[in-house]
Amino acid sequence: MLELREGSCYPKALVGVNVGLACVDGVIAALAFCQLMRIHSRNSQLGWTRQKVFHLMIGSSNLGYFFYFVLSLVAACKGWLWWSNFCGFVVMALPKILFVAAFFLLLSFWIDLCHQSNDDDEDEGYCPREALLEKRRTDSNTNGCRRCFSFWAIRTGSRQRIVILVTVIVFAIMIACAVLIWIGMGKNPIDSEVVAQVYVDLFAIAVLLLGGALACYGLILFLKMRKVRSEQASSEKWKVAGLAIVSVVCFTSSAIVTISTNIPLIYYWHQEEIDGVYTSLLLVLYYFTGSSVPSAFVLWVMRELPPPLVINREQETRTITFIRDDSVTLPPQSWTAATSMSNQGSRASPI
């Protein structure tokens, strides 16, 4: 299937597929970041909500894939031998980690909702229906950029901490494999291609398990939401069902391609021979169906903008003026509005 003369570019069909995939991922990344800015402009007081985090992760993942496809074409035509080892592996693996972490995070919320009654006392005061990342009280004069990019005051649920921990561990494993691949470039027993193949195969198995878990908990959540008689619950349950179905189909097809072929390792272009049409079809199945479609579906499900957060500082100042020294101190309206908005907005959807 794979064969390419060293120093030559990809076949025309493969070049076209790479350009097409790069364009698709570039558009998805641009849409994700634009929507992220629009969401943040409406509720910057809330800090990092789950909607913002998903847009950031999906956008970063697709931006990474965009650079991967562009650099793969340049490396093939320019004959960059270093790309087919350490660098190509890192640029290929990093977007996949971010993509899978986003759906692993989604799974953690579904697990929270399915086991909510059993975990009420587990996280002191933490409710899985609240915003994904909730910041503590901040001064109303705090700089907007600091509120947006300061993570020191973020609080998360226990299962979301597990997601972060697993993502960091997988990233560390990827770096370790990349170092072994780099060492394998020299004269030693380490086979760089075997190391990369073992990594992508194990990762494919993890993706397959993630798809199965999303299907199971998606079904449980769907059945629970069927018991709620409301128009909003009816809409949300079909979003859950759609995400579960898309995840199973796309993740399964991607994992099968990974395990049965060496398509993820196509950046080893100087060692292999490429059948343009067959390889192009597998690339579309692996990248477009396996990552672009789920990413676009998540953005579509989360396309609704939150209601704008309005803070009436003049009214707040007047209210504080008439409070006597011996009266009970009331929280600022900005904090009350932010907390109310966080709870109301997050209860609207399990996504």
How much is the pLDDT for 284? 94
- Residue 189: both structure tokens together: 């027993």
Q: Which amino acid is at 129?
A: R
CATH number of 12-347: 1.20.1070
Q: Contact at 8 Å (CB) between 5 and 77?
A: no
For the record, the structure tokens of 205 come out as 């198995």
Q: What is the value of pTM for the model shown?
A: 0.78
Q: What is the pLDDT of residue 240?
A: 93
**Per-residue pLDDT tens listing for the chain (351 residues):** 444 444 457 788 888 999 999 999 999 999 999 999 999 988 877 788 889 999 999 999 999 999 999 999 888 888 777 787 788 899 999 999 999 999 999 999 999 988 875 544 444 433 433 444 443 333 444 454 545 444 444 557 788 999 999 999 999 999 999 999 998 887 788 888 899 999 999 999 999 999 999 999 999 999 988 887 777 777 888 899 999 999 999 999 999 999 998 888 887 655 456 666 888 899 999 999 999 999 999 999 998 888 876 655 444 444 444 444 444 444 444 444 444 444 444 444 566
Looking at residue 132, its pLDDT comes to 44
| pLDDT for 124 | 41
CA 146 to the chain's CA centroid:
23
Greatest CA separation for the chain: 84
The CA distance from 211 to 246, in Å, is 9
Read off the pLDDT of residues 154-198 as tens digits, 9 standing for 90 and up: 557 788 999 999 999 999 999 999 999 998 887 788 888 899 999
How high is the pLDDT of residue 81?
74
How far apart are the two ends of the chain, measured CA to CA in Å? 40
Q: Which two tokens stand for residue 267?
A: 């950046």
Query: pLDDT tens-digit profile of 235-270?
Result: 888 899 999 999 999 999 999 999 998 888 887 655
Q: Quick check: 263 and 283 in contact, CB under 8 A?
A: yes
pLDDT, position 310: 62
Residue 153: strand pairing partners: none
CA distance 151 to 131: 14
Residues 280-284: contacts with CB under 8 Å, at least 24 apart: 280/13, 280/14, 280/16, 280/17, 282/257, 283/14, 283/17, 283/18, 283/21, 284/17, 284/21
Q: Where are the domains of the chain?
A: 12-347
Tokens of 262: 């060496």
Q: Which two tokens stand for residue 294?
A: 């789920």
CB 167 within 8 A of CB 97: yes
Q: In b/e form, how buried is each residue of 150-174, taking b as 16+ CB within 10 angstroms?
A: eeeeebbbebbeebeeebeebeeeb
